[in-house]
Copies of this chain bind each other. A is one copy, B any other.
Amino acid sequence: MRPAIQIFPVAGIGDVVPGQDIHSLIVAGLAYSEITLVAGDILVVTQKIVSKAEGRLVDPRTVTPSHIAEMCAAQGHKDACYYEVVLRESKRIIKMDRGVLICETHHGLICANAGVDESNVDGGTHITLLPVDPDASARGIQAGVGVATGVAPAVIITDSFGRAWREGQVNIAIGVAGINPIEDYAGQDDPFGYRMQASMLAIGDEIAAAAELVMGKTDRIPVAVVRGVTYQTSPSAASALIRPANKDLFR
């Protein structure tokens, strides 16, 4: 039987530096990997290469730490300049304990260290920030790849986040274009006639997680193509995956 879903790794993209055209790099990677996009394909792109192309890199030695950044450094494992960058990327601190900072970013994402990351950058000189507007980044990739290949895929920009209560990180969707990342079953009947009450699937996050299985952490596979998923193409935003404050028990 034919598989319902296929996940293709996109290799050959190489190092990304500020100012590069991210969609041109992806188009070249697709050609290198001998992948021809078809209608319905979803392009999953790790945040790291988007941030690099968009110049979202900081040398932490260039920032002056605030008092609270110094306090973080006294309790944590990183230096005060690093924490200052994290605090500048945050609009709220959810938890600050045992050297870990759980932040709400300016996008409303809740994650460790506001998504500021030292790995897979350039060996330690710079750190990466999340894209300013990951949905806009996703739309730019969708449009650019569409013009170059004739197929405008749905696009999901991802990052690896930790979770409350569970060990290990999973890839999640921080930016989307051309795909509704939530599938809402509320009010539908299950096959036994039971009316489902609170069944929303976060398929944007599930597609992000699926794609990471071909990406990994140390492989140079920053992009994947996911083929065969059924989804709604209605205009949407990754903020649909963020629980509104008034419904959130864990703020």
Contacts and interface: CB of A to CB of B under 8 A. Distances in A.
Nearest to A102: B249
Interface in A61-92: 77
Nearest to A124: B194
A219 to B, nearest CB: 8
Interface stretch (A19-27, A139-147, A149-157, A199-207): A199-207
Interface of A: 1, 3-9, 33-35, 77, 95, 97-98, 100, 102, 110, 118-124, 160, 163-172, 181-183, 185, 188-194, 196-197, 199-203, 205-207, 209-210, 212-214, 216-218, 220, 227-229, 240-244, 248-251
A227 B167 contact: no
A170 B209 contact: yes
Given A119-B199, A122-B192, A202-B166, A214 B4 contact: yes
A33 B100 CA distance: 47
Given A77-B197, A249-B98, A191 B169 contact: no
**Which interface residue of A118, A168, A243, A249 has the most chain B CB atoms within 10 A?**
A168
Contacts of A160: 199, 201
Nearest to A229: B213
Give the number of times this chain occurs in the complex, counting copies. 2
A220 B192 CA distance: 10
A214 to B, nearest CB: 4
A191 B121 CA distance: 9
A243 B165 contact: yes
Contact of A209 (B121, B206, B220, B250): B206
A6 B8 contact: no
A200 to B, nearest CB: 4
A172 B182 contact: no
B9 A185 contact: no
B1 A248 contact: no
A107 to B, nearest CB: 12
B35 A1 contact: yes
Contacts of A220: 191
Contact of A191 (B183, B218, B241): B218
A55 B120 CA distance: 49
Contacts of A229: 213
Nearest to A189: B218
